[in-house]
Amino acid sequence: MSTSQVLQVGPLMPAVAQGLRDDYDAYVLPDEPAEFLATHGGDITVVVTSGSAVVDAALIDALPNLGAIVNFGVGYDTVDVDAAFARGIGVSNTPEVLNDAVADTAVGLLLDTLRGFSAADRFVRAGRWPVDKMFPLTREVSGSRVGILGLGRIGRAIALRLSAFGCTISYHNRHRVDVPYEYASSPEELARNADVLVVAAAGGDSSRGLVDRAVLDALGPDGYLINIARGSVVDEAELVAALTERRLAGAGLDVYADEPNVPEALFALDNVVLLPHVGSATTQTRAAMAELTLRNVASFLSSGALVTPVR
């Protein structure tokens, strides 16, 4: 019978799950966890999870000797960090290693959404080119005004890439940062002065619904929304309404409020590009995330310190 100190909560990348099994004989939390927690809850000192599972206060309370929650991914909004920190439990994530992949995704989504490349591909595949003769004109990316909501590591990587397109960059954060971009005092002000609003803010309760109807209306019928952050940052019902009512020119989305469920109203819209949360899904990035996740586990179990604590 395993007496592991490590508990996997929710699905993980196979390399991570295999590493946890091989090195620590890790448990996997069952779908019906009550009996397992009653028997093994006191053994667990490290939980390893990802954004596809919830580590809430109830689970944390059921693990009296828990010392660390290691998250595979940069976002940790599915972890109740307040409950963890109240117990002195450390929380880690995988920052830096996925900045480039997610920033590349944001720029790719922006290009596809404004230029309509996916829609043009469908136009050709459907045999419409010989019949309709010309695909509708689209919006140029170069020289656009781009507002970035959340100028952290990923936001800055996006800004750097779009600067090469001659885009005018502005941003909104909780606080100004030392960058050569114009600061907007609110998301609404940012949207009002942008052709494209790129959402790169961290998820969680503090940013839930930050992009609401007022922000979408400020972006307006000629504006575009790109979201590579978390679905919760955008009021999805208001976004769907704005797109279907043509109060917004288009959107490129990699994240959604209730993944993997995507509002069906968006499926028929050629001005919307829909990706299945693949922002960091490259071989190189996922390998680096896996290595950092396992390094956090090893470090905590050997020294009590996490390599990349969130605070």
Q: Which of 156, 230, 238, 286 is catalytic?
A: 230
* Paired strand residues for 261: 258
**Residue 230 catalytic?**
yes
Closest listed residue to residue 238, CA positions, set 228, 248, 230, 229 = 248
Instruction: Give the residue ranges of DSSP H helices in 13-98.
Output: 14-24, 34-40, 57-61, 81-86
Cα 58–Cα 61–Cα 64 angle in degrees, nearest 5? 155
The DSSP code sequence of 214-234 is HHHHHH-TT-EEEE-S-GGGB
The DSSP code sequence of 158-194 is HHHHHHTTTPEEEEE-SS--SSSSEE-SSHHHHHHT-
- Euclidean distance between CA atoms 120 and 68, whole angstroms: 48
**Residue 259 catalytic?**
yes
Closest listed residue to residue 154, CA positions, set 233, 110, 95, 206 = 95
**Residue 277 catalytic?**
yes
Total length of the chain: 311
Give the residue numbers annotated as catalytic, written as ranges. Answer: 230, 259, 277
